[in-house]
Amino acid sequence: MDEAYKANGIIHCRVAGVYFHIPFCQSRCLYCDFFSTTSLSLRTAYVNALKKEMHLRSTECQNIRTVYFGGGTPSLLSGDEIGSLLKELDLSQATEITVEANPGDITPQWLERLQQAGVNRLSIGIQSFHDSLLHLIGRRHNAQQARQAVKMAQQAGFNNISIDLIYGLPSQTLQQWENEVEEALKLDIQHLSCYCLTYEEGTPLTKMLNQGQIPSTDDDIANAMYDNLSERLAKTGFEHYEVSNFAKKGCHSQHNSAYWNQTPYVGFGAGAHSYDGNRTRRANISDLNEYISSPGGKRTYLTETLSDTDFYNERIMLGLRTAYGIDVSSLTPLGLRCAQKYIEEGKLCIDGSRIVATQEGLHLLNRIIEDLFE
């Protein structure tokens, strides 16, 4: 395990992260309920608004260790636009700067500009290597573009590349999923994020499911896909360090690890969230026009103060999602009794002073987490 990541037997993240939300997409994927728009005409105004918000909140951006451009589709910004945002920050202590990218947007010129700007990690939204499945979920790239995107990034010198895959897709078989994982491994990447498809309310895919146009995936098949993934990646030297995330040694996502470890982060942009590492959260308004008209203005964000219960529950929820779990001593007596029951059932286990989810427990993690809540 990366020693910078783990110290004294507990998760130790030395990261203060900055997040940029880039809420533009060329088209909407059928399963997605994230906040984004296909009106690309507002892009320049949005980048300028981001800079205004950064200036207003410059005192919050100290000791930056990681930067993450997420979305939406950050690869719809030019390399110069991304570079101009990074220029506004003191990145002298930054060790990880990630940009999420759609395979169809990646070009050698864009990659070169990103590297000049200091970007050292890419997260490529591949989702599947089967064209029929990509088409079914409304992605705008194909499998060949996905493979080429990774190769192009490697040729440009990126040696910290993550890809996203989705399992449990309509009509996807276990054999197809095994092939997806093998294809991913052939690409010699350092990090893999795999998510089970969820049918979010109001999305076109959910409508198709409700109207009987697509079959739902059986839970047992989705669990078998997940187990296959964990076993296969473990054999190939990937650490399963978070419920949906796998990394080669030293290649954990430092930025996301900070979220899971309740470390402070600052989020810029419409719909972005910030956290002070203690009791205060801030959520920027998910309205592009409002945000652009007054970035960082009082009417464009809400703050929330976490109660003791919120803070406790959040620690359980985030900790149990990771391979490092939660400290036994952090549980209330009631929480400990509940954890004991799951330990007896083989769904949680004790690792030193910590409680972690077993592979079986990961299948019903949300229920276990809720049961442990105060």
Binding positions for ligand SF4, rule: CB under 6 A: 25, 28-29, 32, 34, 36, 71-73
β-pairing, 265-268 vs 17-22, is parallel
How is residue 228 written in tokens?
């296959």
Q: Which is nearer to ligand SF4, 72 or 295 (CB)?
A: 72
Q: How far is CA 181 from CA 30, 120, 139, 178, 192, in A?
A: 23, 24, 19, 5, 10
Residue among 105 and 239 whose Cβ is closer to ligand SF4: 105
**34 or 373: whose CB is closer to ligand SF4?**
34
User: Whole-angstrom distance between the N-terminal and C-terminal Cα of the chain?
Assistant: 31
Smallest gap from Cβ 284 to ligand SF4, in A, equals 17
From the CB of 70, what's the least distance to ligand SF4, in Å? 9
Task: Indicate the SS3 state at residue 61.
Answer: coil
Provide the minimum distance between the beta carbon of 63 and ligand SF4 in the complex, in angstroms, as a whole number. Answer: 30
* Residue 128 beta carbon to ligand SF4: minimum distance, rounded to whole angstroms: 12
Question: 175 is written with which tokens?
Answer: 């054999």
Are 201 and 338 in contact by the 8 Å Cβ rule? The answer is no
Nearer to ligand SF4, 71 or 319 (CB): 71
The Cα–Cα gap between 359 and 69 comes to: 31
Separation of alpha carbons 158 and 191, rounded Å: 13
Work out how close the CB of 138 gets to ligand SF4 at its nearest, in angstroms, rounded to a whole number.
7
Closer to ligand SF4 by Cβ: residue 73 or 263: 73
Tell me the CA distances in angstroms from 372 to 143, 152, 327, 359, one per residue in order: 41, 45, 13, 18
Q: Is 156 helix (H, G, I), strand (E, B) or coil?
A: coil
